[in-house]
Structure 1
Amino acid sequence: MTNYKNVLFENNGEIVHLTINRPDKLNALNIDTIAEIKTAFEEIYDDSTIKGVIVKGAGEKAFVAGADISEIAELTEVNARKFAEAGQEVFASIENCHKPVIALVNGFALGGGCELAMACHMRVATATARFGQPEVNLGVIPGYGGTQRLTQLVGKAKSFELCMTGDMIKADEALQLGLVNHVMESIEAAQAKSEEILGKIMAKAPVAIGLVIDCINAVNNEQENGYQTEANGFAACTKTSDFEEGTTAFLERRKAAFKGE
């Protein structure tokens, strides 16, 4: 197991709780933290016993309040591009993970924090959560995929408004816009809801779940024919023992016991 400094990696059986652990900095994402998130997801990819992930922030004030401004202030055009591309690569690995990833958002999810939450497959927020892309207040724009994923989730007009004004929105508005899946009254309730969703997903065929992720991500990939990706995935499922188990269990009127094979 890797020794982490800025994240907590807790494997509770089949679910990993990945906590951004810089509460004194409102869990701001610095270069080292991004690197640790990358390493954590490499472990998640490689460990077949892990079935789902909950990403959250330490403390009660923030999920992730943004990037580390002291690092951003030192960027030049050359290393800023590399900085953005490195973060985009890590967040793409979250988005493309074949295991369900839920962001549990409490408090501020701003800038890189909002981008991290959007890279996850689903978002469960507390009533105190606040979302925003305030980078224009610093004279820059989102760099970790914020303009792209926010537009995909809330639509072009609202994405223009949020990215150009830098405004924050509350959890209830985020729910109405489709930015979050559920809003719960407390961290404990959000935790329970996240685990409930993962429990339902983990009872399904793992190969099929991974292919669902591929197909839905293909919707916004201009280089990929999403319909063909779906047809290919559908065909691939029929080669698995889980397909045989699922159809047989249905016909026999019993619960399927999937093995991920």
Structure 2
Amino acid sequence: MYTTILTSLENNILTITINRPDKLNALNKAVFTELNAVLDDVYFNSAIKSVIITGSGSKAFVAGADIAEFVGLSVEQGVALAQAGQDTFFRIENCPKPIVACVNGFALGGGCELAMSCHFRIASDTAKFGQPEVNLGLLPGYGGTQRLTHLIGKGRAIELLISGALIDANTALSYGLVNYVVPQEELLAKATNILQVINTKAPIAVAACITAANAALDEQRDGFALEIEAFGSCFATDDMKEGTSAFLEKRKAVFSGK
């Protein structure tokens, strides 16, 4: 079905693998087109409860954008390219279902931006992160300047952005860029174990948590007000009734997503 990505659905967890190993899984127009197509499925397929995004092979998660597609672009075309990339990554960030990046190698440029758009990140001990766009006379265009600053703080973010330096997985962990560092062979299992737990929770409440947390970093939204509204809305759900009943009856809740 796809030519640049692989998909696999198991136990309600969809694994999306960027599959251009000869190009270190670099992002090109085809990858973005297919990623948007699979995101449509993620949003609307009830069989999918959560998602893992990773890269094929052991060298790279995504080593960046496909720079060959940048050559000869006009200002207007550059703006359109950045807008399209940001639109895709906003879809990931705002997805009501958890999306976890399993960073299995180089996450550079657009690859680091892709990882940062996910709800959280798990890295192999071989992973490396960076925004080296300044080496090309550019800056990150797919949201990297904003998300990196939010995740690791302004001082560290600016240093990485203007030096183009790379950091290893353990440094990324100490900066708060990733949640866990595990051996390469344990990467997908770690993510799967976490998502299996999340998949037992109330889907409407999970989605509301994601929306409210995203609002904390959006100056155009009142996160506190959004939280109040979402909290109140949950009282109309079957899941809230089931969750509170199960708690009082000392049994495990079985949520329907309604």
Provide the TM-score with structure 1 as the length reference. Answer: 0.98
* Residue of 58, 82, 85 corresponding to 1:84: 82
In the other structure, the counterpart of 1:31 is 29
Deviations 1:71-93 (A, max 9, x none): 11232101000000000000000
Q: What are structure 1's unaligned runs of at least 5 residues?
A: none
* Residue of 223, 243, 256 corresponding to 2:253: 256
Q: Percent identity?
A: 52
Cα distance in 1, alignment partners of residues 220 and 94 from structure 2: 15
Q: How many residues align?
A: 258
| 1:137 counterpart = 2:138 | no
- TM superposition outliers: structure 1 runs of 4+ over 6 Å: none
| 1:152 counterpart = 2:155 | no
Deviation of residue 11 (structure 1)? Answer: 1.4
| 1:225 counterpart = 2:222 | yes
1:85/1:77 CA distance change after superposition, 3 Å: same
| 1:235 counterpart = 2:198 | no
Deviation of residue 9 (structure 1)? Answer: 1.5
In the other structure, the counterpart of 1:52 is 50
* Residue of 92, 101, 105 corresponding to 1:107: 105
Cα distance in 2, alignment partners of residues 71 and 235 from structure 1: 48
| 1:200 counterpart = 2:197 | yes
* Residue of 114, 117, 121 corresponding to 1:116: 114
Cα distance in 2, alignment partners of residues 161 and 13 from structure 1: 41
Aligned with 2:27: secondary structure? coil
What is the letter of the counterpart of residue 111 of structure 1?
Answer: G
Cα distance in 1, alignment partners of residues 123 and 214 from structure 2: 22
Cα distance in 1, alignment partners of residues 252 and 8 from structure 2: 30
Provide the TM-score with structure 2 as the length reference. Answer: 0.99
Q: CA RMSD for the aligned pairs?
A: 0.7
Deviation of residue 49 (structure 1)? Answer: 1.0
What is the letter of the counterpart of residue 166 of structure 1?
Answer: G
Deviations 1:29-71 (A, max 9, x none): 0011111111110111010110000000001100000000101
Deviation of residue 13 (structure 1)? Answer: 3.4
Deviation of residue 189 (structure 1)? Answer: 0.9
Cα distance in 2, alignment partners of residues 128 and 167 from structure 1: 16
What is the letter of the counterpart of residue 178 of structure 2?
Answer: V
Cα distance in 1, alignment partners of residues 10 and 73 from structure 2: 39
Deviation of residue 220 (structure 1)? Answer: 1.1
| 1:209 counterpart = 2:206 | yes
Deviations 1:242-261 (A, max 9, x none): 00000010001111011101
Deviations 1:107-141 (A, max 9, x none): 10000000000000010100000000000000000
Aligned with 1:28: secondary structure? coil
What is the letter of the counterpart of residue 96 of structure 1?
Answer: N
Deviation of residue 23 (structure 1)? Answer: 0.2
What is the letter of the counterpart of residue 60 of structure 2?
Answer: A
Deviation of residue 12 (structure 1)? Answer: 1.6
